[in-house]
Structure 1
Amino acid sequence: MRVQTEEWRRFIPGVRMYRGKKTLFWNGEKLWDDENGEYLVYDEQGRISWEVIIVLPGVELIPRNTFSSCEKIETVIMSDESVRRIETLAFYDCTSLSYVRLSRNLEFIGLEAFFCCDSLPSIFIPPSCREIVECAFEHCLKLIIFSVSRHTELDDNVIAKTELIEASPFTTDNIGFYDNNDEVNEWIKNRHADNQFSLHRACSSYNPLDVVIFDIVKREGLKAFKKSDSVGVTPSQYLSENPFAEVEEQKMIKRYILDMMGEVI
């Protein structure tokens, strides 16, 4: 589910059907009393009915446990400018969560913020993010794409017990934690540094540019879209999963073919 910029202006806070999904348009109101351990505004039955969370402009903080155990949430979309911090356990045990579009100004992801989001296959961290705390994405069993900039500080076991770690060259202990956090974190950040993975790097970036992708495809051919990296993911997969991408592979293929035929683009 993609949300156009102009749509944000007409969103009203509250719960209603949107594009066929039970959606909470959240304006930052407090949903959980952490001190007393109780739900506010919406009861447990209401919370487990939500399928989509749209975080409205102006919300800078997602507090501890705000959406924890909302087991039917499939999609979380944050406005580009606002959310700066996602605190501890904010999306803990959202077992159906499969798509997240983070704020472009995000700075911090807290302890176990997305712990046990079993259905989440990918996450793209904007370069504004300075720190991701310990075990933030632990036990996201299907997580195979984790795109993060080199300057983001990664704490211990950020992606422990994920498909990506299972496919990595690293060993884990008997409870699934890494043996060497520094090595794993360097590997996470630099997996596509080699020129042979330039298309992977371009398609998984925070701001994929059609001119860059097209230039690589012109050099390497259309087969480059289907080339697997060390964990078996192709540029096509990175591009289709990337919530920040506005480049469409099919349009790029058509452009390539026309270019090869000498047609004017």
Structure 2
Amino acid sequence: MRVATVDGLVTLFYDGSKKLYNDELDWECFTIAADAGDLESLDISDECKRYWKERQTWQQRVIFADTVIRIEGSAFIHCRSLIFIKLSINLEIINVLAFGHCNLTSVFIPPRCREVGLLAFTRNTNLTIFSVPNDTELSSNVINDAKLLERFPGHGSMNTWMKNINIGPEFALHRVCASFEPTVEMLVDTMEERGGIKAFQVENSIGVTPSQYLKENPYAYVSEKEVIEKYVLQMMGER
């Protein structure tokens, strides 16, 4: 594990070599300290206080090495300053409560991930974008209490709904922007089909624009500006 500073934030490059969750300390103060503002006033050990202070403050960005194939249960639970993750492209399993009670706003599950466990992203209340491949098996309440679920119609399978939020030809641009490593060519061609540059600002059924998908996707190595410039040149016959 190594730590670097990126854009003023602490970034943790996680290679899976260290256990991030302490069962004994967690059980000591889970029901007491999990939602407490002042840890010093609680009747828990000093070691437990140090443990919870660390979990709640130090992790703001986590970039997983591509050697990581599974994330164990509760690995990052209650890391409330965790706002950004880039998962391993070889990730296969995310276990129960792995990122519960964090502060993520967007999650992009890589295509090789076979399983996302129970409550894996629960209580990320600001979570608006959750992009998951159709072949990934989702357990119950994976994103419980997320802002995204405010748009859930309340009937049918929630997991099916999450996987098919952008189903239909009208959401083609959304799907491309939310895809794993989208390319400029894919985006430009789809923009042309969907009516041009204005299609970047059209909200989908959950109120997210293609621009937001592209901005939030950690796997997107292309900027909105680059896409639009290429589209304009293509329209002018200068591609």
TM-score by length of 2: 0.82
1:27-106 matches, within 5 Å, as 28-34=17-23, 45=50, 48=53, 69-79=55-65, 81-106=66-91
Shift of 1:22: 4.2
The residue aligned with 2:223 is 248
Residues 19-53 of structure 1: CA deviation (Å, up to 9, x unaligned): 64445555513455536769xxx99658856xxxx
Q: Secondary structure at the match of 2:97?
A: coil
Pair 1:31–1:193, CA change in 2 (3 A): closer
SS of residue in 1 equivalent to 2:200? helix
User: What does the per-residue CA deviation read over 1:138-195, in whole Å, with 9 as the maximum and x for residues that have no partner?
Assistant: 111000100000010011111110000112212xxxxxxxxx6x61111111121200
Q: Which residue of 2 aligns with 1:58?
A: none
> Is 1:116 matched up with 2:105?
no
Select which of 111, 121, 132 maps to 1:137: 121
Aligned to 2:181: 207
Structure 1 residue runs without a partner (length 5+)? 1-12, 50-68, 171-179
> Moved runs in structure 1, 4+ residues, more than 6 A?
none
Secondary structure (helix, strand or coil) at the match of 2:163 reads helix
Task: Tell me, yes or no, if the aligned pair for 1:111 and 1:133 is still in contact at 8 Å.
Answer: yes
Measure the CA separation in 2 of the matches of 1:14 and 1:126.
23
3-state SS of paired residue (1:100): strand
Instruction: Tell me the SS of whatever aligns to 1:224.
Output: helix
Q: Which amino acid aligns with 1:107?
A: E
Are residues 35 and 124 of structure 1, via their aligned partners in 2, closer, same or farther at CA, if it must alter by over 3 Å? same
CA distance in 2, matches of 1:78, 1:25: 6
- 2:211 equivalent to 1:236: yes
Is the Cα contact below 8 Å between 1:92 and 1:113 reproduced in 2? yes
Kindly state the Cα deviation for residue 70 of structure 1 after the two structures are TM-superposed: 3.5
Gaps of 5+ in 2: 28-46
CA distance in 1, matches of 2:13, 2:161: 37
Paired residues in the alignment total 218
Shift of 1:207: 2.3
The one of 258, 261, 265 equivalent to 2:233 is 258
Is the CA contact (8 Å cut-off) linking 2:11 and 2:61 kept in structure 1?
no
Identity %, equivalent residues: 42
Q: What CA deviation, in whole Å up to 9, does each residue of 1:75-128 have, x standing for no partner?
A: 01012x2111111111101112111000001111111111111x2110000011
Which letter maps to 1:146?
Answer: F
SS of residue matched to 2:229: helix
**2:196 counterpart residue number:** 221
**More helix by percentage:** 2
Report the TM-score when normalising by structure 1: 0.74
Return the structure number with greater relative CO, CA threshold 8 A, min gap 6: 2
SS of match in other structure, 1:70: helix
What CA RMSD, in Å, does the superposition of the two structures yield over aligned residues?
Answer: 2.5
**SS of 2:157's equivalent?**
helix
- The amino acid across from 1:29 in the alignment is K
